[in-house]
A and B are shown apart, each in its own frame.
Chain A
């Protein structure tokens, strides 16, 4: 059961959506929330070619960016605390100075769930976007992550599609999702995409059994489609009006992704509903 969830904050629309979803979860499960804001001092102060006479200007620029980052972190945490207070949810602010990936991976170890906006840019002072941090977290996280797209509204809905491919990551994900309390009173649909309908049905049934063993009811679905795996899953999610997707993250090697593409990346980049992932 989720007792404490980490919410990653940096003021983006995704971060706002993540906060809304996290508050909904906290109210349902009587959980605490920890709002994490990161001041990325290492990247701000990182060495860069400056030319002769540039050091003084770099120092001034670093100080200005750091001051701005601290202000934004404080604002994000203040807003988070106010929203939680208004919702009657127990919350704790946490400001960390350090590189975003390492900071989030460290803090997530102590919590059962990490909620993060899809478009979150934790290196907002030095980069225009930050897919790198998101990808590193999804690759290296040993705890579940709930990725929330920026257009997600309100709390999590009642219909869940579980994309199951038989991998170890998928099995871990089902186990943690079933134990989290999030599966309770939700309609769980386990779906497998394969060229063979029979094979897909068998695999989906294995996924259903994992849920049943954990005390959660679920229904299998086999998806045979000419579309890509990503498109097929999205089409199925739309068909059953799913509000939440659950899947194992980056189950295959980076080399395999290089040649075959990554279903995780495809789903993460294009989803319009929150995705619960575990590596």
Chain B
């Protein structure tokens, strides 16, 4: 379906990578140094278009091959955004209400459920659905920072490793030909990381409970309407639409090889199916459910604007890496794991995944271009490529937890927690947490699996 167009047959110059690198750097630093400029989605769109112009000019210069690649990338972008938007709309239509008291056992089970849910509705959807109920359940606790930190580790990142729906990079891999069920082979790594984190969390939470004894209850916002009665899900109809999304994506994966010759038919089916599920969710969900979740399309608009620039600028960058991957010194699975993880922790994990998956193509076929022509999906069926792809998938997804900017839901969770008057670590304070807890765990993952 998505074989790499013959853009890769043209030797990509080094300068074509610059817009991609520059754009990712701007995404990282503008919120810090120019917050008022960055606040408006219009400005993000303008920046995306401006950053994309050099790539478009370069691709236009390649004529048919370049235009074809641009159109294919456009299809990927639309599919990607419709999936994210559909999952966002559907999870935003589900609300967990009722009395829940946060104890170490309850909290640990809650996070464990979140880890599973993350692979089904996506890390963003699971985080949006679960963070407020968890904060409400622990509003009486003095020490709650660790709850937010481990939530980010597990629900917002490591939990989303099992399916393409779990995290945007995995869906991008799926769009590029990685089979839908391929990520299930990452289950041992998923189980190890989430299992260890849950065990650690249980210990942290128990210690916090002991230290809280005798301390006055903190003043935090509460909403009795949400906290009384038995624990229940509202907007349950959305589970049906969620099943629809899973079905569309899964069937698309099955039909992919048969419909490969109809270049745009499969993306059209995917987009139409997912959009239908999102539309049905919108129509059938009571308004007050979305009001409780403070649902807004603003984050999706921002993601759409920023990722437009990512998708355009990365075309020549990925082509460059496919062509020169073998010569760049990263050749072993462990190296791919750490390199993709390191970049994923400071830049969004979706473009990081594509960057290193493209690099893996170049390494797996020794620079011959045999795999590059087939696309990232070919890695999953290649004896060397499969291990490299597994390393990149694990690195990109798991290490998005290392900083607040490694994955989209991280900052969302922090911001919601602060609205609930829960102290969260500073940017570098959080890195201290992740450095002490996650890095040794990732070293174990690298040792055992890569």
A joins B in a complex: yes
> Given contacts A55-B302, A57-B415, A65-B418, are A48 and B408 in contact (CB under 8 A)?
no
Q: Separation in Å of the B81 CB from the closest CB of chain A?
A: 12
What 0/1 pattern do residues 48 to 66 of A give for CB contact below 8 A with B? Answer: 1111111111111100110
Q: Which among A57, A60, A61, A68 has the highest number of chain B CB atoms within 10 Å? A: A57
Q: Separation in Å of the B292 CB from the closest CB of chain A?
A: 14
Contact yes or no, A58 B411, CB < 8 A: yes
Residues of chain A in range 52-95 having any CB-CB distance to chain B below 8 Å: 52-61, 64-65, 68
Q: Using Cβ atoms and an 8 Å threshold, which residues of chain B touch A128? A: 423
What 0/1 pattern do residues 413 to 431 of B give for CB contact below 8 A with A? Answer: 0011011010100010000
Q: Using Cβ atoms and an 8 Å threshold, which residues of chain B touch A55? A: 31, 38-39, 41, 44, 298-299, 302
Least CB separation from B418: chain A residue: A61
Contact yes or no, A60 B31, CB < 8 A: no
Residues of chain B in range 374-399 having any CB-CB distance to chain A below 8 Å: none
> How many residue pairs bridge A and B at CB < 8 Å?
94
B100 proximal to A (CB < 8 A)? no
Q: Using Cβ atoms and an 8 Å threshold, which residues of chain A touch B296? A: 56, 60
Contact yes or no, B427 A49, CB < 8 A: yes
Least CB separation from B33: chain A residue: A47
Q: Which among B124, B294, B406, B419 has the highest number of chain A CB atoms within 10 Å? A: B419
Q: Using Cβ atoms and an 8 Å threshold, which residues of chain B touch A51? A: 348, 404-408, 410-411
Q: How many residues of B contact A (CB 8 A)?
A: 39
Q: Using Cβ atoms and an 8 Å threshold, which residues of chain B touch A45? A: 35
Contact yes or no, B32 A60, CB < 8 A: no
Contact yes or no, A56 B35, CB < 8 A: no
Least CB separation from A44: chain B residue: B418
Interface of B is mostly: helix
Instruction: Name the one of B31, B303, B306 contacting A48, with C-beta atoms under 8 angstroms.
Output: B31
Q: Using Cβ atoms and an 8 Å threshold, which residues of chain B touch A227? A: none
Instruction: Name the one of B32, B302, B406 contacting A56, with C-beta atoms under 8 angstroms.
Output: B302
B373 proximal to A (CB < 8 A)? no
Contact yes or no, B302 A47, CB < 8 A: no
Contact yes or no, B412 A53, CB < 8 A: yes
Contact yes or no, B418 A53, CB < 8 A: no
Residues of chain B in range 28-46 having any CB-CB distance to chain A below 8 Å: 28-29, 31-35, 38-39, 41, 44
Q: Separation in Å of the A148 CB from the closest CB of chain B?
A: 22
A255 proximal to B (CB < 8 A)? no
Least CB separation from A49: chain B residue: B405
Q: Using Cβ atoms and an 8 Å threshold, which residues of chain A touch B410? A: 51
B151 proximal to A (CB < 8 A)? no
Q: How many residues of A contact B (CB 8 A)?
A: 21
Q: Using Cβ atoms and an 8 Å threshold, which residues of chain B touch A258? A: none
> Given contacts A58-B415, A59-B39, A60-B415, are A52 and B348 in contact (CB under 8 A)?
yes
Q: Separation in Å of the B155 CB from the closest CB of chain A?
A: 16
Least CB separation from B301: chain A residue: A56
Least CB separation from A47: chain B residue: B35
What 0/1 pattern do residues 288 to 325 of B give for CB contact below 8 A with A? Answer: 00000010101110110011000000000000000000
- A58 CA to B30 CA in the complex, in Å? 14
Least CB separation from B40: chain A residue: A55
Contact yes or no, A54 B348, CB < 8 A: no
Q: Using Cβ atoms and an 8 Å threshold, which residues of chain A touch B124? A: 53
- A170 CA to B29 CA in the complex, in Å? 46
Contact yes or no, A54 B415, CB < 8 A: yes
Instruction: Name the one of A53, A60, A64, A65 contacting B408, with C-beta atoms under 8 angstroms.
Output: A53
Q: Separation in Å of the A13 CB from the closest CB of chain B?
A: 12
- A47 CA to B407 CA in the complex, in Å? 18
Q: Using Cβ atoms and an 8 Å threshold, which residues of chain A touch B39? A: 55, 59
- A94 CA to B300 CA in the complex, in Å? 41
Least CB separation from B406: chain A residue: A51
- A60 CA to B32 CA in the complex, in Å? 17
Q: Which among A46, A47, A64 has the highest number of chain B CB atoms within 10 Å? A: A47
- A50 CA to B33 CA in the complex, in Å? 12
- A46 CA to B36 CA in the complex, in Å? 9
B27 proximal to A (CB < 8 A)? yes
Instruction: Name the one of A48, A53, A54, A61 contacting B427, with C-beta atoms under 8 angstroms.
Output: A48
Least CB separation from B304: chain A residue: A53
Q: Separation in Å of the B328 CB from the closest CB of chain A?
A: 26
> Given contacts A51-B408, A65-B419, are A60 and B427 in contact (CB under 8 A)?
no
Q: Using Cβ atoms and an 8 Å threshold, which residues of chain A touch B406? A: 51
Q: Using Cβ atoms and an 8 Å threshold, which residues of chain B touch A48? A: 31-32, 35, 427
- A101 CA to B370 CA in the complex, in Å? 64
What 0/1 pattern do residues 118 to 142 of A give for CB contact below 8 A with B? Answer: 0000000000100000000000000
Contact yes or no, A52 B427, CB < 8 A: no
Q: Separation in Å of the B427 CB from the closest CB of chain A?
A: 6
Least CB separation from A126: chain B residue: B418
- A64 CA to B419 CA in the complex, in Å? 6
- A53 CA to B406 CA in the complex, in Å? 12
- A48 CA to B418 CA in the complex, in Å? 14
Contact yes or no, B408 A54, CB < 8 A: yes
Q: Using Cβ atoms and an 8 Å threshold, which residues of chain A touch B34? A: 47
- A53 CA to B414 CA in the complex, in Å? 13
- A128 CA to B135 CA in the complex, in Å? 19
Q: Separation in Å of the A253 CB from the closest CB of chain B?
A: 29
Q: Would you list 13 pairs from A and B whose C-beta atoms are within 8 A, ordered by A residue?
A: A47-B31, A47-B32, A48-B32, A51-B404, A51-B408, A53-B411, A54-B412, A56-B298, A57-B299, A57-B411, A59-B39, A64-B418, A64-B419
A-B interface, 5 closest residue pairs, ranked by CB to CB distance from nearest: A47-B35, A56-B298, A54-B411, A61-B415, A51-B405
Residues of B within 8 A of A (CB): 27-29, 31-35, 38-39, 41, 44, 124, 294, 296, 298-300, 302-303, 306-307, 348, 403-408, 410-412, 415-416, 418-419, 421, 423, 427
Q: A49-B404, A52-B303 are in contact. List 19 more A-B contacts (CB 8 A).
A: A47-B34, A48-B31, A49-B28, A49-B32, A49-B405, A50-B411, A51-B410, A52-B408, A53-B302, A53-B306, A54-B405, A54-B415, A55-B39, A57-B412, A58-B415, A60-B419, A61-B415, A64-B419, A128-B423
